Structure 1
Amino acid sequence: MHALLSAFAPIWTLTAIGYAVGRSGLLGEQAEAVLGRFVFHVAMPAALFTMVSGARPAAFANSSMVAFAAGTALVCGLGFVTAGRLFGRGTADRAIGSMASGYVNSANLGIPVAVQVLGDASFVAQIILFQVLLVSPVILTLLDTGTGTGSGKGVVVRRMLTMPVRNPIIMASLLGVVVSALGLRLPHALAHSGDLLGAAAVPTALITLGLSLNSRPATGGPTEHTEPAESTVRTKRAEVATTVALKTLVQPLIAFVVGGPLLHLPDHQLMAVVLCSALPTAQNAFIYAQQYGLDTRVARNSVVASTVVSMATLSLATWVLGTTGP
């Protein structure tokens, strides 16, 4: 339990600092929007390029990743369908619902949890690559399609083909793949600069998340809804509850079924798969919703609520499967 508390402490601390700064008005009214753009367009691309360029994407071609990917794909699909069928969301909002349901907080929470509980963070590194190179492009494509101007087939195709050039996250990831595939290494000064810039992504995203907790009505921009307040609050709560249940309960359960009875993974690998699948929603879901001008309430509240709930589900998974690390 001490390991989990240590892993969660930076998340709560930085989010609380962001909330306090927002309440004080220290950074002004535009702080949330400006910091969100900084994370999305500058810091996060730097972090992803550094991460991908120094790794080998082929590393996640193994049975453990198959089990994790199966849980992610099924839950993201359920989140997408649920957001549309039950809550009447459009394509872009359904993409955010899908991401909030299945995109795990693998970096700033997954790594410390893996180190403390499993004694090894190598599997988390594979998950980060999987989410960056495969899951994020799908989510961003849906977001781009759902928020694009024009509905003609040619417009949609053109936007999809040009999205890597227009989206800094996908562009940084693709450049990282190219550098990795060619075996190139950046000069130390340039690489170190990228490391420093990328290191700002997670803390700034958490500060931005904290700032957003002061927002009323916490919408991201032009697609703000005008439903009656009581109906909106009830719907949002139900949607957040559904999303959190998919993230913290359904995803690790699917991973367990696929990794255990179907693939017969060794105990240590099965625990790693289930534990990582039980991680809460990454703050990327909130940042993406904000930058695409969507209502951020569901994404923001899903990040916060799933982080609270996952303390219990991670502890339960550790207790049931047994601590196999040191």
Structure 2
Amino acid sequence: MSALLDVILPVFLVIGFGYAAVRAGWLGESAIDGLMRFAQTFAVPCLLFRSIAHLDLGSAYDPGLMVSFYTGAFAGFFACFFSAMAIFGRAMPDAVAIGFAGLFSNSLLLGLAITERAYGAQALQANYAIISLHAPMLYGFGIALMEWARSRGRGLSGATLAQQIGKAILSQALVIGILLGFAVNLAGNPLPGFIWSGVDMVAGAAIPVALFGLGGVLTRYRIEGDLGPVLMVSLASLVLHPAVTWVLGAHVFGLGVDALRSAVVTAAMAPGVNAYVFAHMYGVGKRVNASAVLVATAASIGTAWFWLHLLP
């Protein structure tokens, strides 16, 4: 019970504050958009920049950690992708968008916040290693597959497709923050102290502001039809992904306690808002992904509690 009260509920309480503030009319959609723009464009990239710049690259990138987490992620994608077509009769572009929701867990806002509250800031090295590859790899995969699905028969060249993927990935502020963090890390952290002080101030606002804004954003979603695909995505995100990660991490690769905790807790998070953003970007699967984000985020209160009890 202490894990629920002390670790999980405070995170969701901040989300609830944002949800209630918008529902009560204290903040409008434009205010929430501004908060999220600040979080996603400045605060969270600063947090990632600072964390990657100080990350011990030699020990953080354990192949077993990455294989465990990302095998689970792609298991979620392919389960949702093939089920969307074979069971629910969706066209391939819709299936790609729905599969992306089963692929893209909320590793940053929920995974990072819950892991830190459960195990402390010193246990986050594996989280940052996972996050540093998360958006670039999964967006690259999703965009490549979607562009292929949409362009079948149109003769889109490989060079054009690669250009589209690169432009989409490198235009994200999160990816820019990660790349700058790697550059500073490899250069031996040459930045003066006053710059780090400023970065620390902005980065400190990242998680609470983003969680509050996430609550406001969730007011825009409704659970509307498509119950089967929504439940499928929720199960892939909250059960299949962490289960595969736990089995591989604990019984195949023998990950250390900190790495196993980070991998499984991150894998057990609901689809991030980016799952809806991806669907909206292509105009397919929007209702399923929006509903899945809402349903799985609410359900993750219970599933996160389960995984925290299961972990050593």
Shorter-chain TM-score bucket reads 0.7 to 0.9
Per the TM alignment, residue 137 of structure 1 is displaced from its structure 2 partner at its CA by: 0.8
Match 2:163 to one of 158, 164, 169: 158
Cross-structure match for 1:141: 140
* Alpha-carbon distance change, 47 to 269 in structure 1, aligned in 2, over 3 angstroms: closer
Aligned-pair RMSD on alpha carbons?
3.8
Cross-structure match for 1:203: 208
Match 1:253 to one of 243, 268, 276: 243
| 1:234 counterpart SS class | coil
Match 1:234 to one of 225, 236, 240: 225
Per the TM alignment, residue 182 of structure 1 is displaced from its structure 2 partner at its CA by: 1.6
* Alpha-carbon distance change, 272 to 211 in structure 1, aligned in 2, over 3 angstroms: closer
Letter matched to residue 131 of structure 1: I
Cross-structure match for 1:75: 76
Per the TM alignment, residue 18 of structure 1 is displaced from its structure 2 partner at its CA by: 1.9
Matched, 1:176 2:165: no
Q: Could you report, residue by residue, the CA deviation over 1:235-279 in whole angstroms, capped at 9, with x for unpaired residues?
A: 1x322211111112112221233234433557x469626742553
Spell out the pairing of 1:115-130 with structure 2 (5 A cutoff): 119=119, 124-130=124-130
* Matched-pair contact (CA < 8 Å) for 1:8–1:109: no
| Cα distance in 2 for residues equivalent to 1:205 and 1:287 | 16
* Matched-pair contact (CA < 8 Å) for 1:105–1:282: yes
Percent identity, please. Answer: 22
Letter matched to residue 6 of structure 1: D
| 2:28 counterpart SS class | coil
Per the TM alignment, residue 298 of structure 1 is displaced from its structure 2 partner at its CA by: 4.2
| Cα distance in 2 for residues equivalent to 1:37 and 1:30 | 10
* Alpha-carbon distance change, 102 to 163 in structure 1, aligned in 2, over 3 angstroms: closer
| 1:280 counterpart SS class | coil
Q: Structure 1, unaligned stretches of length 5 or more?
A: 219-231
Per the TM alignment, residue 296 of structure 1 is displaced from its structure 2 partner at its CA by: 5.7
Per the TM alignment, residue 3 of structure 1 is displaced from its structure 2 partner at its CA by: 2.3
Cross-structure match for 1:224: none
Q: Could you report, residue by residue, the CA deviation over 1:74-128 in whole angstroms, capped at 9, with x for unpaired residues?
A: 223434444555463665x6565445424444445445644665x4655543133
Cross-structure match for 2:300: 310
Cross-structure match for 1:88: 90
| Cα distance in 2 for residues equivalent to 1:271 and 1:277 | 10
Per the TM alignment, residue 55 of structure 1 is displaced from its structure 2 partner at its CA by: 1.1
* Alpha-carbon distance change, 43 to 81 in structure 1, aligned in 2, over 3 angstroms: farther
The count of aligned residue pairs is 303
Comparing 49-58 and 107-116, the one that deviates more: 107-116
Letter matched to residue 248 of structure 1: L
Segments ≥4 residues shifted beyond 6 Å: 147-151
Per the TM alignment, residue 282 of structure 1 is displaced from its structure 2 partner at its CA by: 5.6
- What TM-score do the two structures reach when normalised by structure 2? 0.76
* Alpha-carbon distance change, 79 to 193 in structure 1, aligned in 2, over 3 angstroms: farther
Q: Structure 2, unaligned stretches of length 5 or more?
A: none
